[in-house]
C-alpha cells in the first residue's frame, strides 16, 4: 500500500517528522528491519507520543519493504507514560503516586 506513495511526502512519525523515505533508506539501503533499531537511527517513536501513534504504521512499512519474513519486534515503552514537567516530578513523595 505504501509502494505508490511519494516517500518524501509521507510522514510516518509526526512527532519527529520522519518520512517514509527515511524508513525506506534504513530498510532497503542499511538492510535493517527491526523496529527498535530503526528507532535508534531515525528517531521514529522518540517524540512526545513515544511511538503510540506511529508504531502500527511503521510496522506495516517494514513488512512491506522487507523481502523476507522478519521479526519486527515492538517498541519498548518507558515511563513516564505521558510527558511530565520537572516541577511536577521534583519532591514528589512515592506515596503520592498511585
CA distances from 56 to 13, 60, 85, 89, 96 (A): 11, 6, 28, 31, 34
Q: How many CA atoms lie within 13 A of 46 on its CB side?
A: 13
Q: Which is nearer to other proteins, 21 or 84 (CB)?
A: 84
State the nearest-atom distance from the C-beta of 60 to other proteins, in Å. 20
> In angstroms, what is the minimal distance from the CB of 55 to other proteins?
15
Nearer to other proteins, 1 or 81 (CB): 81
* Cβ–Cβ under 8 Å, residues 81 and 52: no
> Which residues contribute to the site for other proteins (CB under 8 A)?
30, 34, 36-37, 40-41, 43, 46-48, 50, 71, 78-80, 83-87, 89-92, 94, 97
Total length of the chain: 98
Tell me whether residue 10 or residue 46 sits nearer to other proteins (CB atom).
Answer: 46
Amino acid at each position: 500500500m505504501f509502494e505508490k506513495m511519494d516517500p518524501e511526502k509521507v510522514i510516518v512519525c509526526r512527532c519527529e517528522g520522519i518520512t517514509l523515505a527515511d524508513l525506506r533508506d534504513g530498510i532497503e539501503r542499511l538492510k535493517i528491519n527491526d523496529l527498535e533499531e530503526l528507532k535508534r537511527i531515525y528517531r521514529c517513536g522518540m517524540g512526545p507520543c513515544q511511538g503510540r501513534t506511529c508504531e502500527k504504521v511503521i510496522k506495516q512499512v517494514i513488512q512491506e519493504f522487507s523481502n523476507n519474513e522478519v521479526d519486527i519486534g515492538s517498541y519498548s515503552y518507558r515511563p513516564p507514560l505521558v510527558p511530565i514537567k520537572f516541577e511536577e516530578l521534583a519532591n514528589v513523595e512515592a506515596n503520592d503516586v498511585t
